[in-house]
């Protein structure tokens, strides 16, 4: 799968204390559960995927909309591990909260998008 920045054109603006330009996004993936899939030794693997976008509010809203457009129930993923993709289930809408940080007197916002990714893995 190509990098996120090749799929989504994020708007540009300012700089944070860190070297990232605004807005910037981070993706976290964590294992939610693994269930035995029958008797062939395969596992149904469920991962929680969290996108976090920080920046000025209009930019965060735009970036969250782009992420939701690119990553929806109709997406098909290919894993380097050879795991077979099953489905992508978005969990709720984008949660928009004001980050306690500020940059050059501007409020920083945090947009959070969560989804569950199901696959079948052979171990």
| φ, ψ dihedrals at 38, nearest 5° | 80, -155
Q: What's residue 36's pLDDT?
A: 84
Which domain covers residue 66, as residue numbers?
A: 4-122
Q: What's residue 99's pLDDT?
A: 74
Q: Are 8 and 63 in contact (CB under 8 A)?
A: yes
Q: What's residue 23's pLDDT?
A: 80
Q: What's residue 22's pLDDT?
A: 72
111, burial (CB in 10 Å: exposed 0-12, middle 13-18, buried 19+) = buried
Cα within 13 Å of Cα(78), Cβ side: 3
Averaged pLDDT in 10-residue chunks for the chain of 123 residues: 51 46 86 84 91 91 92 88 91 88 74 94 79
Q: Which of 60, 66, 69 shows the shortest CA–CA distance to 14?
A: 60
Domain count, the chain: 1
CATH number for the domain harbouring residue 89: 3.30.2000
């Amino acid at each position: 799968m190509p990098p996120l920045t090749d799929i989504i054109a994020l708007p540009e603006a300012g700089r944070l204390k860190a070297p990232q330009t605004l807005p910037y996004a981070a993706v976290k993936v964590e294992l939610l559960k693994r269930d035995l899939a029958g008797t062939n030794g395969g596992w149904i693997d469920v991962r929680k995927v969290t996108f976090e976008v920080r920046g000025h509010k209009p930019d965060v809203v735009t970036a969250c909309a782009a992420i939701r457009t690119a990553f929806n129930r109709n997406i098909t993923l290919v894993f380097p591990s050879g795991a077979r993709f099953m489905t992508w289930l978005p969990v709720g809408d984008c949660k928009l909260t004001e980050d306690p940080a500020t940059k050059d007197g501007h409020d920083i916002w945090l947009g959070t998008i969560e989804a569950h990714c199901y696959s079948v893995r052979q171990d």
